[in-house]
Structure 1
């Protein structure tokens, strides 16, 4: 059971990030914190940023820098239409899988 939990969380962060980004743009650290708060587990730091880079490169999220008073600018991620479509595909897949397993 530990393996399936790891596979559907730590090794598959992107659906969680896209789900959170549907609500509002967020920066990387904030996404990690919100994942822990909402889903009950905290993604590894390096993996999180690799996933965000991959989502950006694939066109699933866009990036914008926001200045802050007296602090370094933060990189905010925002889900795109392509990202919304990918998230819906993932949700449909998990619903279908659950239905088959629960039958």
Structure 2
């Protein structure tokens, strides 16, 4: 009986939902990196651990390092005198804008799905 319910749960996870999960985790990893670094300058391995603990997903290591390299190159993060990464002013601005955008989209979708059929 428990196996049947587990299979039903897996069946409900459509390909579209699977793609969405990937798009709002791995493909937007930069947002999570900035959020973690905002409060505490640290090293990539700790960023990965913090993302796993705070956001419940485990980013691929190579992807994380690539994203952090790009963020540094774009001036959104930098290494401090101890070699730890920290968010720059530009990075804080980008994080704030991204969070606002995601909140707006979430709010609109929530409103649309709670209205019922037209």
Question: Does TM, normalized by the shorter one, top 0.5?
Answer: yes
C-alpha deviation, 1:12, in angstroms? 1.3
Q: How many residues align?
A: 95
Bigger Cα Rg: 2
* Structure 1, unpaired ranges of 5+: 67-74
1:24 match: 40
Indicate the structure whose relative CO is greater, using CA pairs within 8 Å and at least 6 residues apart.
Answer: 1
C-alpha deviation, 1:11, in angstroms? 1.5
2:65 match: 49
Question: What is the CA–CA distance in structure 2 between the aligned matches of 1:22 and 1:10, rounded to whole Å?
Answer: 19
C-alpha deviation, 1:23, in angstroms? 0.8
* Structure 2, unpaired ranges of 5+: 1-16, 112-118
Cα displacement string for residues 61-94 of structure 1 (whole angstroms, at most 9, x for unaligned residues): 111353xxxxxxxx41100110000000100100
| Structure 1 stretches of at least 4 aligned residues deviating more than 6 Å after TM superposition | none
Task: Please give the root-mean-square deviation of Cα atoms over the aligned residues, in Å.
Answer: 1.0
Question: What is the CA–CA distance in structure 1 between the aligned matches of 2:26 and 2:103, rounded to whole Å?
Answer: 20
- Please, what TM-score do these two structures have when normalized by structure 2? 0.77
Q: Classify the secondary structure of the residue corresponding to 1:56.
A: helix
Q: Which has the larger share of helix?
A: 2
